[in-house]
Structure 1
Amino acid sequence: MISTNKYSYYFYTILTLLFCILIFKADTSLSISYKEALNVFVNTSVLSIITNISIYLFGQNDIALRIPFILFYVASVILMYKITHNYFKYEKDRLISIVVFMLLPGVLSASLLVNSAIIVIFCTLLYLYYFEKYKKHSYFLLLLFLLIDNSFAILYLALFFYSIKENDKKLLYFSLILFALSMFIYGFSTDGKPRGFLIDTVAIYATIFSPILFLYFIYTVYRAAIKHEYNLSWYISITALFLSIVISFRQRVYIEDFAPYVVIGVPLMIKTFLHSYRVRLKEFRKTYNILAIVTVSMLLINVILTLVNKPLYLVLPNPTKHFVYQYHFIEELSNELKKKNINGLTSFDKELMLRLKFYGLQEGDNYFISSKEFYNYDEKISIKYYNKELFMVYLKKLK
């Protein structure tokens, strides 16, 4: 009990620290993107409702924009911790598993952005928690998920395969009906010419996990398959992974639809690694030690780059290639415009205007603004990081 309490203390301490870091990051390092602005001002999805409720309660600012998703992240981590209560033999193994899950670059990123990925992770873990606690499926939750996001079709498909293995006819029919309803309501994208995007998909997964961790994850799900060590989490992870890879042979995959289901397989991966490590004598653990050190190092590098990435602009010849370029500059630009008492803007760039609107800049006919240089502009405003000019707008006073 003392040992359990000790590791629980470590867990909640790390989670609290990460929560504070994410709040700080949301407040100081990110600006609203165009897609996020659409969710605030245009769209009417569940995502938009959640975002606008937060803004209504806490004001139109960056923390209010992102706090719901940070809270979903915290709740997801706690649910994962609860789910793995009896999964590991040792409490320290459980702590290692949950820390890896918490620090996955894809999971951390999802907690800071206005998208459905972290909501899907939370809902899936809530369903698994109910299943682990009560040893039965929550058909109410499955029905509710239908109204939240299109990607739950993947969960329904995974449950369909699981029901075949368990010979559960009720789950089989229910999951099949919900899958069909999801396809009917949301459809399935087949846009564009058939092209192979397998390498792109694998590269994104490698970014979400970190490269070595993703390779070991593939080995883990394969090993579980050949040893017939199936559980519900395995079915969900393998269905999402396999389906995304198959689809990527023909078209680009919206990875945010699949990744939330893949990352819940982290405990299985950690359990497999630690078991393989312990069954070997110390003199035969060298390869595993090297693998663990390299993996943790790469994971930490990815975490640092996820949380502290502005210095990358110093080494990138093209700033637009920065992986979070679309989340930078606009708040700083709005502050510069306010300092100069510039408001009442018009522009051909509707994306820029919608983003500026979030920070209180209104449309009007006082100034014309453009991110592209044009003839006889009156003023240029540039945004710099580390004294490097990265983003410019050009203004013309109209009256």
Structure 2
Amino acid sequence: MKKQYFLLLLPFYIFAVFYLAITTPLSPHEAKLLYISHNVASVLMHWSSGLLPGFIGLRIFFVLLGFLSIWFFYKLSRRHFEKRGDAYLATFVFMLLPGIITASTLANVGIIVLPLVLLFILLYEEKKMIFLPFIMLVLFFVHEASILFFVALLLYGIIYKDKRLAIAASAFLLVFIYLAKGIAIGGRPSGHFAEIFGLYAALFSPLVFLYFFYTMYRILLRGKKNLIWYISFTAFAFSLLLSIRQRIYLTDVAPYVLGAVLLMIDQYNQSLRVRLPQFQTWYRRGFYIVTASLILSALLIIFHKVTYDMSSNPQKHFAKRIYQPYYLAKELKSKNRHCYDTKNQRERYQLRYYGIRSCRNDR
């Protein structure tokens, strides 16, 4: 991808992210963060709400962290690819992923963790080891699912005989075990295994996820396994394993698998450039199809409000849990009603943000 094309698209992307952050109503997950949770994402929402009015006031830190993630990813791409055009292409694919667009515009802990993971990999490859313990410490306190990250570091340290990395990862894992922190494991075999594939398809877009799966498997069998692969594969494998017994949340695994875009672009380049030009046609066509599906997924997210308003059956739309409480609050206010009862707890908190209280509490 040429630099001028990337720089031409970048302002449109920045505008789209800010547009979504400003106009998209409060999501159920954000409502939970705002009124129930006390983690770092919740703290950032409360801090920023006093800086700017409206929805953007709740999300400005997360928007900036999303842009920071893209910058770190580009810096990492420049280290992995000899051609600058490959770095631009990888960054273009990365920032169009539905998971990145959504995480950059809605408050969530995943977009806090992602730049930390990318920065850790970048500094490790640059041999700037002095900063790594601080990043590991922040991840330990910020994200309970970072236990997957430390497991990956331990495996990588053992395989590649990096004693300092293995010891540091082991220390954090022992503290996780001692404090009984990390991902809660329990439940009984249920139907969440099929659900996890749908979540990954939403994170990457369906065709990109298929190529992600292929890349992870191919490198496992005979590819070069670097730190990015260990982090991505460990999180992916554990999520599949745990989904047999319990529901997996994307914010637990997404920050650790999204960096695999580098591996996917590298795998595609290896498959393409090892062949003569006359035998590259099908590979290029496949790339265009996958890229077109990715762009379509990104456009569906950017214009989700238009599709929701035009939908003949909004109850089946993916954004209904965001817009139903918003439109309900507007309707209630137009009738001069300021209370409403609902059994859905998160919807109740969404309505609370719009100034609609519970009628039971007013009695």
TM-score, scaled to structure 1:
0.82
Q: Is the 2:228–2:259 contact (alpha carbons within 8 Å) kept by the matching residues of 1? A: yes
Alignment of 1:127-142 (within 5 A): 127-136=120-129, 138-142=132-136
Alignment partner of 1:80: what SS?
A: helix
Q: Partner residue of 1:208?
A: 203
Alignment partner of 2:337 out of 342, 353, 357: 342
The alpha-carbon distance between structure 1 residues 198 and 339, as it changes in their structure 2 partners (threshold 3 A), is: closer
Matched length: 359
Distance in 2 of aligned mates of 1:187 and 1:234: 21
Structure 2: unaligned runs, 5 residues or longer: none
Q: Partner residue of 2:49?
A: 55
Alignment of 1:53-92 (within 5 A): 53-59=47-53, 61-92=54-85
The alpha-carbon distance between structure 1 residues 271 and 210, as it changes in their structure 2 partners (threshold 3 A), is: same
Give the number of the structure whose alpha-carbon radius of gyration is greater: 1
CA RMSD of aligned residues (A): 2.5
Alignment of 1:301-380 (within 5 A): 301-310=296-305, 311=307, 314-315=310-311, 317=313, 319-343=314-338, 345=339, 347=341, 349=343, 350-362=345-357
Alignment of 1:137-286 (within 5 A): 138-183=132-177, 184-286=179-281
Alignment partner of 1:134: what SS?
A: coil
Which protein is richer in strand relative to its size? 1
Which gives a bigger RCO, structure 1 or 2 (Cα 8 Å, sep 6+)?
A: 2
User: 4+ residue stretches of structure 1 with deviation over 6 A?
Assistant: 364-368
Measure how far apart 1:62 and its partner are: 0.9
Q: Is the 2:147–2:182 contact (alpha carbons within 8 Å) kept by the matching residues of 1? A: no
Q: Partner residue of 1:393?
A: none
The alpha-carbon distance between structure 1 residues 187 and 269, as it changes in their structure 2 partners (threshold 3 A), is: closer
CA deviations 1:4-62 (Å, max 9, x no partner) are xx72x65455333212111112222x221333122112321111101110102213x21
What one-letter code is carried by the residue in structure 2 that aligns with 1:89? E
The sequence identity of aligned pairs, in percent, is: 32
The alpha-carbon distance between structure 1 residues 171 and 286, as it changes in their structure 2 partners (threshold 3 A), is: same
What one-letter code is carried by the residue in structure 2 that aligns with 1:357? R
Q: Partner residue of 1:375?
A: none
Q: Partner residue of 2:27?
A: 33
Alignment partner of 1:45 out of 21, 39, 47: 39
CA deviations 1:65-113 (Å, max 9, x no partner) are 2222211110000010111223112111111110000001111111122
What one-letter code is carried by the residue in structure 1 that aligns with 2:218? R
Which protein is richer in helix relative to its size? 2
Q: Is the 2:340–2:356 contact (alpha carbons within 8 Å) kept by the matching residues of 1? A: no
1:104 counterpart = 2:97 = yes
Alignment partner of 1:329: what SS?
A: helix
Measure how far apart 1:323 and its partner are: 1.7
The alpha-carbon distance between structure 1 residues 19 and 340, as it changes in their structure 2 partners (threshold 3 A), is: same
Distance in 2 of aligned mates of 1:274 and 1:187: 37
Alignment partner of 1:147: what SS?
A: helix
Q: Is the 1:58–1:64 contact (alpha carbons within 8 Å) kept by the matching residues of 2? A: yes
CA deviations 1:369-393 (Å, max 9, x no partner) are xxxxxxxxxxxxxxxxxxxxxxxxx
1:93 counterpart = 2:86 = yes
Structure 1: unaligned runs, 5 residues or longer: 369-399
